Chains A and B, each alone.
Chain A
């Protein structure tokens, strides 16, 4: 391979740069691009992909939320779509349901994988097999998993799996997805079962990075298992915990497939209507793509708000 050398650019006459100046010399943009032409050429492809497939649809969606199309004529209507969407009685129901799901998912779907990971981490034997077993549900397509829950576990008759268990324990049976009160908890259980494996693996990887000396020191100081978790495990994994909490919030607030499959959409008395499902309803059943776009933007803003809070909190921790 030939080794090329760049000839030194002759300096213009004038005052020589001060040896005490800490500021690097500026190079022109053109020069920077020329210096790394290959890298920038590759970059164009990536940027084009993002522009066409990620950013343009987002910007188009935001534009649509301020427009109205009637008889093929598109006009700018300011905040009309937003006020219309907010006035929709289902709007607050959907947000209420979505927040409820998110809170339940944080309590159950967030905490359970963490404790499962701690337990798995404690096992001395068959670790690999146990990890595979925990991860298996993730490999099942979500639609298949939810159909299993819908027709097998949540069957409202006494033949349903959960009802059969409750009956065997002499406990009252439930209507599951057909009961407005049980809709959300039932969806969270199904969702947690489906998605737990991925979170468990991430927690496990994080747990295994904790130096063993810390636990040994804690044990020497007389710390039991709960104190070790509280004073060693949680502080050592706080960044991963914070990141997964954030991802959990963002993912659960986009709740869609669970209501669509488990509750056939809105569920009993609208108890399953989520914001994402409402967007789908407006866009595809109510002939209101502009309203759907406005609701999508509102959701984007709310999730961006959560992300900003996360960034602030983790920055302080660092």
Chain B
């Protein structure tokens, strides 16, 4: 072959190859096989990643057992790394249309999922036939995933915030581990004693970056009896005495008492890293914060206990609740939706199975005995079963969470467009944590204006 001919052939092959690969890229998956051979196939996400060997084995065992019980359903599990707890990753998948048939989302994600047009109205499918424990699921959680009277997701996890404290540091500081702080004055006193231990230990630690500052501001505001938005959800409602008190408490501890350590602008993992290293006396968090401290940040379960969220002068008037659920992709067939419901029922909502398989979890490095997930309504049959199983198989000291469980604080849900609102409030939190001359009135006024603009743009 002469050189010019060779070059022509190479060019044609290049163009043909490129064209073919582009065609391949644009070819969507063959949806027809979703019911091939009388079997229904569904893709589900949040399969544990390879590094989580035991969790992955548990998941695969559950899939195998479920498919044995339901031979007409094929579960295709997808592991998407951080997608299941990383908002930017989730947003990218949603925008790119690459979410699985049954996909995980936070309670705060409902509006975002609806806007993307990818969620299916599952009102007619969610019932006792598809999910045997459906009537036991807390109605308040179903309400969170309901919009315009239509249900869009099945709740699978719920939490509420309390005061997480380090028993070892309490003991070192001469504090009573069985009598943790109940008011913010108590928190300040304890924090001062703990930070006096030195060695870079913060008596109390707080978030102010990555939207987590706004998240905690909300919980602290609820503890004061406040609310983030007006009743109709159209305006900010935190620029008032209660909001000022929240920031004042933090500013007083940071610069008045010097009991919050020097490093600020913390986001989720930063605080827990410090906590795992034994450098944090107290912080507010959900029960699974202790799980993260142990499994990801080398802490010890026996060091950590929880009590109810402190109030200003007495018990807290409210606390923040949140959680997760599973959505269903819009174009699924009724058979696929029902199959997805059955899978979620098996893996997430059946005492003794999946996430509630405490017998299996007990010998593994996975905590049993934490006061969550709070999925089932008080007094319901499923709740009784789940509590009995939890008690019988606990591998963490449930006494560490007894105060938190025995003194429930009224739970309030997250505000509309929560992540955006939290991002705005990060600046207010970072203001009082990094600037001794910060003007609380100005910080709240700016945040109020920003949130009002956000909400106006949303409507």
Contacts and interface: CB of A to CB of B under 8 A. Distances in A.
B446 A1 contact: no
B11 A48 contact: no
B87 interface: yes
Contacts of A305: none
Given A45-B14, A72-B330, A269-B435, A89 B450 contact: yes
Contacts of B210: 264-265
A285 B8 contact: no
A73 B114 CA distance: 10
A237 interface: no
Contacts of B270: 264
Contact of A284 (B7, B92, B417, B450): B92
B438 interface: yes
A281 interface: yes
B15 A285 contact: no
A2 interface: yes
B117 interface: yes
B209 interface: yes
Interface string A245-279: 00000000000000000011111111000000000
B430 A285 contact: no
B115 A175 contact: no
B18 A48 contact: yes
A311 to B, nearest CB: 32
Contacts of B267: 264-265
B241 interface: no
A31 interface: no
Interface in A274-314: 280-281, 283-289, 291
A280 B92 CA distance: 11
Contacts of B173: none
Interface stretch (A110-118, A176-184, A219-227): A176-184
Interface stretch (B163-171, B227-235, B257-265, B388-396): B257-265
A281 B423 contact: yes
Contact of B265 (A49, A89, A268, A281): A268
Contacts of A38: 4, 7-8, 11
A4 B200 CA distance: 83
B79 interface: no
Given A73-B117, A180-B434, A267-B265, A287 B420 contact: yes
A109 interface: no
B427 interface: yes
B214 to A, nearest CB: 10
A72 B457 contact: no
Contacts of B248: none
Given A2-B2, A285-B420, A88 B11 contact: no
Contacts of B115: 69-72, 287
Contacts of B95: 289
Contacts of A136: none
Nearest to B431: A269
B417 A286 contact: yes
A84 B11 contact: no
A283 to B, nearest CB: 7
Task: Classify chain A: how many residues form its interface, as a range.
Answer: 35 or more
Interface in A61-76: 69-73
A285 B267 CA distance: 15
B88 A268 contact: no
Contacts of A157: 200, 262-263
B423 A285 contact: yes
Contacts of A283: 91
B417 A88 contact: no
Contact of B88 (A42, A45, A285): A285
B211 interface: yes
B22 interface: yes
Contacts of B12: 41
B51 to A, nearest CB: 20
A155 B265 CA distance: 12
Contacts of A48: 15, 18-19, 22
B434 A178 contact: yes
B450 A72 contact: no
Given A267-B265, A281-B423, A41 B211 contact: no
A286 B209 contact: no
A156 interface: yes
Nearest to B7: A38
B116 interface: yes
Contact of A44 (B7, B15, B114, B454): B15
A168 interface: no
B430 A267 contact: yes
A217 interface: no
Interface string B409-427: 0000000010110010011
A150 to B, nearest CB: 10
B426 A265 contact: yes
Given A72-B116, A267-B430, A284-B91, A155 B14 contact: no
Given A175-B434, A180-B435, A71 B3 contact: no
A126 interface: no
B458 to A, nearest CB: 9
Contacts of B265: 177-178, 263-264, 267-268
A77 to B, nearest CB: 11
A128 B341 CA distance: 66
Q: Which of B22, B427, B453 has the most CB of A within 10 A?
A: B427
Contacts of A119: none
Interface in B196-227: 200, 209-211
A52 interface: yes
Given A266-B426, A269-B434, A285-B211, A178 B8 contact: no
25 contacts: A38-B4, A41-B12, A41-B14, A42-B14, A48-B22, A71-B114, A71-B117, A72-B117, A73-B117, A156-B263, A157-B262, A157-B263, A178-B264, A178-B265, A264-B210, A264-B266, A264-B267, A268-B434, A269-B435, A269-B443, A284-B87, A285-B88, A285-B211, A287-B112, A287-B417
